Amino acid sequence: MQISLLKINNQSLAFIFLSLALIYNSFILAFNENLFDFEQTLFASRLIVISIPVFFSILLVLSRKTITDFKLKIIILSLLVLPTALSIINSSSNQDVGYGLVFIILLISLMTLFDKGLSDFKLIVPIFQNIGIVIMSLSILFAIFIPEFAFLSGSRLNGIFTNPHTLARLAGTLLLSSFMLKENELIKKFVIYLLTFICLILSMSVNVLFSLFISFIAISLIKRLNFGMTFLITSISIIIAIMLPALPTMFIEFFGRDLSLTGRTSAWLLGVDLIVNNPFFGIGMQDTKEIIFLSNISSTNFHNSFIEAGVRGGLPLLLGFIIIISLALKGAIKCSLALENWNYLRLLIFVIALGSAQSIIFSYFTFDFYILWILLFAMSHMSTKSSHEIQDHARKNYL
């Protein structure tokens, strides 16, 4: 193991403690029947999850003499914070205030911690891979020795989590991160391939498999193209991923899903209707589970990050989310072309495609939320750099 990959600073410590807190939160949910004071324990664990990025971002600010890319940070945060704040003000619900403030606080903290582009990847990718290997291994061990907890959804593996999609999304992200490993790390790469293959097959998440397919197809198409064509084809690939309701009937039935995609299409139509009726401020930053339940739809959320953003914060928040994705895509494409390394763009396409059928934008207590925003903020930082600056940055922070 190379010593350079073990460098410890505020960002790496924050990611380590955050990962441990998220795993602890998952265990509490999985073993809730054995907890005497479940609600209090869950509240405490979630408070710890939120507090970690806040604490380390404050430490980082205190240790820095200047704030880098201050104008870019203000623009990006304004696109997200202002619509969220307006949504909170427009709502009279205490729950909206709580959810909205958590969203704003986490965004500011993550933006402060992870704004260095490639150097952030150098720090957290090896940590994420090691933690991911542990999680995948534990999930498989659960399947062997404690199947009643590992298969809560019946025949689909959820591992240490309570949802098979959560395990599959983490496995897919871990698989793509393995392409960033060096040539002398073949054993680690093989271990990741083996573990993620088992978890992806047993969790049976169509959305994750389809997102992986989109990410690989998109990269194979855009190699050796100029920036404009690369951005165009990347955008088209993501649009295709968002248009999941148009999947052919036979393809859906092949994977054992009904035509409503287990309630997703009904939830999407409800979400679009709510956006049309509340275009400027949304319905508020509340948990949307109750609204969907009252509409007699068999879904726990809108299963689409774009719709979720529009429902909660209206068109301004949805537009802000899309603009930040565009900035991140621009940064990832620049890195890919300047370094002839397509791993950053492939991973970003995968994560965005995941958002087409999963509401990861507000999932504060899952890995999905933090992977999404860390990736968006890190790549947005690279969007303002020239090819020469990116190459120089990569030489200093090689991954």
| b/e code 284-313 from CB counts within 10 Å (16+ = b) | bbbebeebbeeeebebebbbbbbbbbbbbb
Average pLDDT per block of 10 residues along the chain, 399 residues long: 50 90 87 70 90 91 72 88 91 79 93 79 86 94 88 83 90 92 87 94 88 84 65 62 47 46 75 91 84 80 89 93 92 86 89 86 90 90 83 66
Rounded-to-integer distance, Cα 167 and Cα 149, Å: 13
Nearest alpha carbon to residue 335 among 269, 393, 268, 256: 393
Check: CB of residue 121 under 8 Å from CB of residue 377: no
What are the boundaries of each domain within the chain?
Answer: 3-396
Give the pLDDT of residue 245.
44
What single letter denotes the amino acid at residue 382? M
Give the pLDDT of residue 147.
87
Please list the helix, strand and coil fractions of the chain in percent, rounded to the nearest 5, in that order: 75, 0, 25
| b/e code 158-190 from CB counts within 10 Å (16+ = b) | bbbbbbbbbbbbbbbbbbbbbebbeeebeebbe
Give the pLDDT of residue 248.
42
